Chain A
Amino acid sequence: GESVGLHLPTLSVQEGDNSIINCAYSNSASDYFIWYKQESGKGPQFIIDIRSNMDKRQGQRVTVLLNKTVKHLSLQIAATQPGDSAVYFCAESEGGYGGSQGNLIFGKGTKLSVKP
C-alpha cells in the first residue's frame, strides 16, 4: 500500500546549526504535504505545508522542499534552537485537501535533539 516514511528516526544537531529532516513518500498522486512538530506531551502542531505545484516554500526559519521526481520531501530548520527539539512528522494527502477528498497519511516521525 501507499506509505509515508522517513530516512532517519533520530537527528542530533548543535544549537545554531541548520537541521534537515527528510521524508520519502510513495504515492505519486499525493499533491499536498505538511510538516508537523510534536513536543513531548503535546499534540502535533502545523509547521508548514506545500502543494505539488511548488518545489519550495519558506516560513519563519523553516523551508520545505519537494522533489516530485524522486518523491522526497524535506524540512530545513535554520539556526536550530533548543525549542526546536521535538518529533517532526511529514504527512501527505491525495486530492489536495486535508479532509474529505483525501485523508492525511502520516510518517512515523523523526526525533530532533538540539545540543546546547
Chain B
Amino acid sequence: DVKVTQSSRYLVKRTGEKVFLECVQDMDHENMFWYRQDPGLGLRLIYFSYDVKMKEKGDIPEGYSVSREKKERFSLILESASTNQTSMYLCASSSGQEPLYGYTFGSGTRLTVV
C-alpha cells in the first residue's frame, strides 16, 4: 500500500525552539508539499518541491523553511517556533504524471507551541 508517512502525530514544543517535521513517501513521487490546516482557513500551502534539492515558496512561507536532500524525504523546519504556528501540518506527494491521482496525504502532525 502506497504511503506518505509523517514522523509524529502529535508534538508539543516551546516558543523559540527549532522544530523539524519529517515526511517520507514510498511512491517515487517527484513532487512533495507541506500544508498547514486551521479551522475556517482550510489547507494553506507553505512550501513545495518538484525535485531533489529544489524548493518553492507557497502561500505562507514566512517562519518556515524546507529541505529535500533525498527524493523520498521532505522536511519542514520551523526556525524559531511561535504560538501562531500551532496547527495541523499535512505533507503530500504527487507524481505529476499520467495517470492522474492528485495528491496522497500523510496523516498529519498536530503541533502545539506553548
Contacts and interface: CB of A to CB of B under 8 A. Distances in A.
Interface of A: 32, 34, 36, 41-46, 49, 51, 89, 91, 93, 96-101, 103-104, 106-109
10 closest residue pairs by CB, A with B: A99-B96, A43-B105, A108-B42, A98-B102, A99-B31, A34-B102, A98-B94, A106-B43, A99-B94, A100-B50
A89 B103 CA distance: 13
Interface size band for B: 20 to 34
A49 B43 CA distance: 18
A27 B19 CA distance: 36
Interface in B49-90: 50, 90
Task: Specify which of B45, B50, B100 lies most central, judged by the most chain A CB atoms within 10 Å of its CB.
Answer: B100
A45 B94 contact: no
B106 A43 contact: yes
B48 interface: yes
Contact of B30 (A41, A100, A109): A100
Nearest to A47: B102
- Of A42, A97, A108, A109, the most chain B CB neighbours within 10 A belong to A97
